[in-house]
Each structure stands twice: as C-alpha cells, then as structure tokens.
Amino acid sequence: MAAAPVAQADEVAAAKPESLTDLFWSFSLLALQGFGGVLAVVQRELVEKKRWLTLDEFIEDWAVAQIMPGPNVVNLSLMIGGRHFGIRGALAALAGMLTFPIIIVLLLTILFADVADEPAARGALRGLGAVAAGLIAATGLKMLPALRKNTMGRPACAIIAALTFAAIAVVRVPLLGVLLGLGLPAGIWAWYRLGRA
Amino acid sequence: MNLLMTGSDWLALFGHFLSLSLLAVGGAIALAPDMHRYLVDERQWLSDPEFSSSIALAQAAPGPNALFIALLGWNVGLNTGGYGAALLGMVLAMTGVLLPSAVLTYSASRWAHRNRAHRAVRAFKLAMAPIVIALLVATAWLLASALFGKAYAGVSWLLTLACTLIVWRTRIHMLWLLGAGALLGAFGWV
C-alpha cells in the first residue's frame, strides 16, 4: 500500500479553527480517538486532515510541548488554542482534551473494578498496550520527512537521533540529561549553520 | 480501605501536586514514582494495586495518559467516602498538577511564537526535531519492554512492530488495530 500522504510541502498552514466551539469539539474528538496516548491522533487530525498545522510547525510545537513541564498533549492543546484565540482558546482546547476522557476513564474505573481479576480483562489491557506502543513509534517515523530540509544536515540529524534513542532506551539517561546533553550541542550546531546559510 | 481526610490533608494533597507540576519534564508519567512514594508509602492514602490499576486504566482509555493523576485523586477520595469526595480528590489532583505547568507553557510558547524569526529560537527548533523523533521511538520501546516482561514476549513485540509499520505506511484506522490488540490479548495470544 502507498505511504500515507503527509502535508510536508506547505509553508503555512492551510486552515485554522473557526471558533472556540470548533476548538473544543475538535480537541474532544482528538482526545476520544487517542487510545494509549493522543499524539498519534493529533498528527493525523490536525496536520493531515484539518491542516491547522504544517508538519514543520507540528514538530516545532511538539518540541516546545515536550520540553516544557506538564503533560505533552495538554501543553500542545494549550499552545494551539492560545495561538488562535488567546487564553480563551487555550482553555477551550484544554477543556476539549480533558472533559470527555475524564468521564470515560471514570466509567471504566467503576466498571473495571468488577472484572479486574479476570485473565481476559488483563490480557486485553496488555494487547492494547502492545498496539499503543506501535502507534507511538509510527508517529515518530511519520515525522522523518521533516528532517530533509533541516539546516543541520542529514548526517547530523541521524547522529543526534541515534544518540537520543540510545540514551533513552538503552542507557536510560533521565530526560533532562538528554535534552541538555544532546540538545545543547545540537542547538549550537544549528545556530552555526543558520549563520552560514 | 477506610480513610479519614481532614481539610488540611486535602490541602496537603493539593500543595504536593502543585509542587510536582513544574518537575513533569517529559510528561506526566515522569511524576509517577514520586506520587507513589507520597500517596502509597508516606501518607498511605492509596494501596499498591489501586495505584497501578490507575495507571493501567488511564493508558487503556482514550485521552491523555496524564489522566492517571485524575484517577489517583479519585481513588483517594473514594477511600474516604462516596463519589462526592472522589470528585473533590480528582479536581484537586488535576488542578494541582496542571496549573503551574499550564501557566508556564502558555507564556513560554507565546514568547517563542512572537520571537520565531530570532536565530536562537530557530536554532532551538531545528536542533529539537531529530531529538523529538527519536524520543517517540524510544518511548514506544520503553513502554513495550515494561509491558511485555518475559512471557510470550516474541509475539507481543511482533504485534507492536506490525502496528508500527501499518500506522506508518497505511491509513487504516487505529481503532481496528486497538480492537484487534484487545481481542488477541483477551484470548491470551500476545
């Protein structure tokens, strides 16, 4: 099957949220599709379908959402909502991200209390987890095209990505250490290349 | 568990979560070890199984994984009384953990957006791109390793790998994959 088309060529986003209500419902729908995490859906809905963000903007926003404290997708909803409608937009997007998922997770908790000891229920949780891990990995791989235009150059990007993976997954360095230890040299290199470009 | 929470206990819970908020670099799950230390070991407001099932359910349900924090607050409240106390616990836990980080993120991202043409801001974003991509793949790797442990691990990894390829290269809806994963798991195949 052909690769999923990705809106990578756009310089500016093709669309934007129409109103606070649009923000609220869009983020509600996003959150409700996000089993095992919302990020994979954010990329598909906001970049590929709604086109509120280009792939480059999405990666930039995600980097900021990741480096700031707090849940990443919550940060992302605050940023996107805030960009279009200020504080009210941030709150509308945040409310969308949280309201229905909280209701559902509470219902699940109440229901799950009755079946928590069934092997089938625990097996299903495990199967869901395996799929969720695949979703997260694929979300990262879908962002690869954005590195083509990166001013740092492809070899530098490949080295930084490989070192990041090794540090987190193999050596298990705390995230803050990785962000400082690899982000700082990468940032200096990017600064240097921007100056020459 | 039957528990008596005074007003100052609730305030302590709120204050503790406020103080953790700005430490949640890398997502809310990074706070789980400290929350376990505080809620289960130090205060004994939650039991161990209550703590771990809060995390597992929040992972399985739609929405941000950070909702495990709402469930922690909910379960603390439930241990002291009815659903009213549970709601109070949930609101205090979520507000505490979100308020400081939300204010900081909102202001910082506005600043970065206004100064997006600045060379340092551009360098930061360029430098972060490969790191962010690798972080996602590493997170998937860590989640899968923690989940699979020993038994049937080969098949589970195969399922994760297959889902990675399917989501990356096709447009099949994720709900089909999640349904298939839940079924395979319920029958004990992965």
| C-alpha–C-alpha distance, residues A178 and B128, integer Å | 11
Q: What are phi and psi of A35, to 5 degrees?
A: -80, 130
Model ipTM?
Answer: 0.78
**Single-letter amino acid code for the residue at B139:** T
B32 token code pair: 């789980």
Q: Tell me whether A182 touches chain B (CB under 8 Å).
A: yes
- Report which of residues A142 and B76 the model is more confident about: B76
The predicted structure's pLDDT at residue B151: 55
* Among candidate residues A21, A89, A86, A9, the one with its CA nearest the CA of residue A54: A9
pLDDT at A9 over 50: no
pLDDT band at B149 (very low <50, low <70, confident <90, very high): low
What does the alpha-carbon distance between residue B41 and residue B43 come to, in Å, rounded to a whole number? 6
Bridge-partner residues for B62, per DSSP?
A: A35
Measure the CA–CA gap between A156 and B55, rounded to whole angstroms: 37
When the pLDDT of each residue in chain A is averaged and rounded to a whole number, the result is 86
Backbone φ and ψ of A136, nearest 5°: -65, -45
- A2: confidence class by pLDDT, cuts 50, 70, 90: very low
Contact A129 B166 (CB under 8 A): no
Rounded to an integer, the average pLDDT of A160-187 is 89
What is the pLDDT at residue A6?
Answer: 44
- Smallest CA-to-CA distance from B99 within A53, A63, A70, A127 is with A70
Is the distance from CB of A89 to CB of A23 less than 8 angstroms? yes
Answering whether pTM is above 0.90, one says no
Q: Torsions phi, psi of B104, nearest 5? A: -65, -45
Closest CA to B106 of A75, A48, A25, A24: A75
In contact, A97 and B66? CB cutoff 8 Å: no
Q: Which residues of A touch B88 (CB under 8 A)?
A: none
pLDDT at B133: 87
CB B70 within 8 A of CB A102: yes
CB contact under 8 A, A66 and B26: yes
DSSP states along A25-55: HHHHHHHHH-BT-SHHHHIIIIIIIS-SS-H
Contacts of A185 (CB under 8 A, 6+ apart): none
- List, for residues A106-151, the tens digit of each pLDDT value: 998 888 777 777 888 878 878 877 887 888 888 889 888 888 889 9
* Chain-chain contact of B62 with A35 (C-beta, under 8 angstroms): yes
Question: Which chain A residues are closer than 8 Å to B135 by Cβ?
Answer: 66, 140, 164, 168, 175, 178
From chain A residues 89-128, the ones with a CB under 8 A of any chain B CB are 90, 94, 97-98, 100-102, 104-106, 108-109, 112, 116, 119-121, 123-128
Three-state DSSP class for residue B178: helix
Instruction: Tell me, yes or no, if A12 comes closer than 8 A to chain B by beta carbon.
Output: no
**Chain A residue numbers touching B96 (CB-CB < 8 A):** none
